[in-house]
A and B are shown apart, each in its own frame.
Chain A
Amino acid sequence: MAAVQWRSHGRNYDTELQRCRLEAALVDFGDYHPLKPIMVTDTKTRRGTRKGSTSSSSSSSSSAPPDPLSSMLDGTDPLSMFAAASASETPPMSHSSSTGDLGRRKREKEEEAVGPDFEPWSLKRGEILARFTTTEKLSINLFIGSDRGKATSQGSAVSEKVRTRLEELDDLEEGSQRELLNLSQQDYANRIEELNQSLKEAWSSDQKVKALKIVIQCSKLLSDNSVIQFYPSKFVLITDILDTFGRLVYDRIWTMCSDPRPLPDNFTVEDVNDTAKETCLNWFYKIASIRELLPRLYVEAAILKCNRFLNKSGIQETLPRLTAMVRGIGDPLVAAYARAYLCRVGMEVAPHLKDSLNRNFFDLLGTFRQISSENVRAQLVLQRVEMPEYLTLYSPAISWILQCIAYRAPESLLTEMMERCKKLGNNALLLNSVMRAFRPEFVAARATDFIGMIKDCDEAGFPKHLLFGSLGRSLASADPPESERLTILNEAWKVITKVRSPQDYINCAEIWVEFTCRHFTKREVNTILADIIKHMTPDRAFEDAYPQLQSVIRKILTYFHDFSVLFSMERFLPFLDMFQKDSVRVEVCKSIMEVFIKHQVELTRDPVILNAMLHICKTMHDSVNALTLEDEKRSLALLIIGFIRMVSFGRDFEQQLSFCVEARATFCNLEPVLVQLIHTVNQLAMETRRVMRGNHSRKTAAFVRACAAYSFITIPSLSSIFSRLSLYLLSGQVALANQCLSQADAFLKAAVSILPEVPRSISVEGKLRSSESFLVDFINSFLATLLVIPDHPEHGVLYLVRGLLNMVQDYTWEDNSDAKVRVYISALPLLAAMSQETYLYSIPKVDSNDTLYGGDPKFLSEINKLCETLIGQILDHLKTLGRDEQSTRRQGALAFSLFGVLLAHGDLRNNKLSQLAVNLWNLSHKHGCCETRTSVRTLEFIKHQTQQPDMTHLSDMVQRLTLQSRT
């Protein structure tokens, strides 16, 4: 094909812009709004409101435009109407005698039900399991339920059945036991879990006797306190089984009476049928004949709820009886836990029966002296357990009992309880539980009293730091009287600081940090930090206390959001230095940064903050190594970026730049941070330009050049090619805006020079994707920038454009891809724009090529030559596409886009060009893969264009463009 002669279509951008603008139509906003309902406004009332008359409410309601949505529904919406109707109606209940009675019962139920503010057992459970552990070997005394044959012997007479069952029970009480020795704690827990499973299995396979046996055996284990440190955990594990059993029995009896229809939740005895009652009674008889005290007590407590099936007052009578039964347990620890279980079941089944709870506690106080009996002492010696440790074993049980009592209890009862505890000797254990279980407000109000009591306690008994820990926990959530606060802190700290063991010390100190932070200033907190450092540094004690130390930091951070205050605490950074394990250190730094980003609202230049934060960020940054996960890196980078964005030196740009230099040196391993730094510096340059209103002085010019230099040397250190490319482009634009021509040139040249390095596929979110679309996008925006770049005096005309196009040509594009040609096609509009007399856009104070060449014909012909080469290339490509059947669609699309470019930017008065355009049109329509709608609209556009004065020549062409019929 003969070379096409290119002529750019001359443009007058201003007039085009004028033409394109919509005609401004004035809208009177006051009158009309499409969303406003059509309504007649009563102007009189409106005037009335303006006067501020007393009837403002009525008048304003009439004048205010009603919400169209709510006006649709007249009054209340139907859903809430239904709800209201059903609420007022009493639900139909067959068994209730009268609605009044029901209402009363309902109200009672609400009163007695345990609210969400009651800390449930399930929470305590895990805590106890984690706290009471042992390395001693444990043993389980059990029968293994393999002798199934007996249980299913088919005696015809009831008596025989009963007898065999009872015999089995005896059997397993006396013989057929197997002792499992040398179990580790984990094994023990697993065994118990196995038993739990076999209980469920036995139950579901209808071996009720075996189920009962398992439960009895398990509860028997509770009387054995040979490894006493583990007892609380054992209690938890075994009561789980008891709970399961209780639930199974209850559910079974429940289903027995739900024959025609399920029982209502608040059923009465009359609703239960005889068979169910009989079964239930049988359970109770069976349990009543268990020989040993402890299993009888526990198992009956487990199925306490079943009393509901038998009679109204069953639970009410049983609880006190069981409570009294506990008196028969000699071992004080076993008894205390049995009481705790009773209280737990009581709270669950009948929370309104407070009396038995209180009875339990008073009995506990009555037998309190047992704790220091000879027997217990002998046992402790045998097991090599110290008294203080032994006493702590009680605290979960006693705390739980007290918590049940204290729940929604009147103040007077609490005071009474406290007085009773006071009277007993060696009451530290009780005191501890009182502080833990009673409402924090109650404790806080009497904090000074409590401190007095703690001081009076026996030193040899319960450890005092635990007492102060409990007190501190209460004070952390409730405030003591203002006047006492300082004394409280002083008194408490006096004791805490004397605690020898670092572990005990930090456990207690950690709790009190919260109180200190809540009520005092940085001075006191600083003192406490200093004290902690003093205690934890010897022998590197801090290594075992990271969780507590972290919690100290967390507490401080929740109360101190002002970082200048925080960092002005002398001891804060030394405190941070105690975190010497890398992972913990980074975690702490991260938590600080998170708080900083969340709460630091104002930009800062405070050197204290900056230094400290730089230190913290550096710690985080230095933790990055080759093994660090991508996600971890990203989150660290985000935190550091958050910090960098908060730094501002105001008008002191140079310092900001030097900060960036420093930051770059510090955070060189985290790419996102470097990218942010480059952005910051670019922003700095633009800020300088704004301040100088575009006229740089010698000094500012040097500064912006320094900024450009910063970016120029930082960018190559990035590994991601696309961030490099886009940053080069961006920095080039910034440099240009700041009249740093040679720098801009260098940026763009650098961008062009790394183009060949772009890989053909890049990884996006872990998946390998073709980079083509990213590259084409980048080149397009690069082209747009090239329009304003003036040619370098030492290089040839259109040096950068040629360079770019050469790179595009040499780049190894994907096979079967039109990307290269697409780039060529999009280069044409640039070249056309360059040949205009004045360019579409320009940068103030920068002379673009339009001014430099002033429309020099030589320049123009250079452009035209370039265009012709491009078009030649494009046409060649179209021809190759034509050879292949499959690529006709691509050919059509390319041809059509070239047609579009010709139409918009080519001077179609030129015959050859218009002929080319017509050919392209035909080519694109040849294979019928052109969208008809687009073609029609294009034609309409051209027809519209012909009406312009200088576009009449197009009318000839329109005649020759034919739409392809749909066949």
Chain B
Amino acid sequence: MEEKNLICINCPLGCPLTVALEGGEVRTVAGNTCPRGDAYARKELTNPTRIVTSTVKVKGGKLAMASVKTAADIPKGKIFDCVRAIRDIELEAPVAIGEVVLADVCGTGVDIVATKNVPAKG
């Protein structure tokens, strides 16, 4: 039996959670004051995911950079690969919110989309 400690992020209470794992499976969650803590601990220890946000260069735009994000959350372990993949992108203005700037980032099946409108210069 393995034990892991984490802090619940659902509310300012920040319950210190103690999770008992067996063979990679969550057996028990303790320390939570509400069901949200239990659900958070299970997700966080079996399949932690995050939305990743960054910026990319824009050529010929009114602004130098456009912000981007993963259209959905991706596995936590792929965050750095994802950021490296985003780093090489250079877009041509105009850029529109929601535009796919990189499809299926790092084999996650998730697209990188623009989160900023950048009109062309002039």
A pairs with B? no
A residues whose Cβ falls under 8 Å from a Cβ of B: none
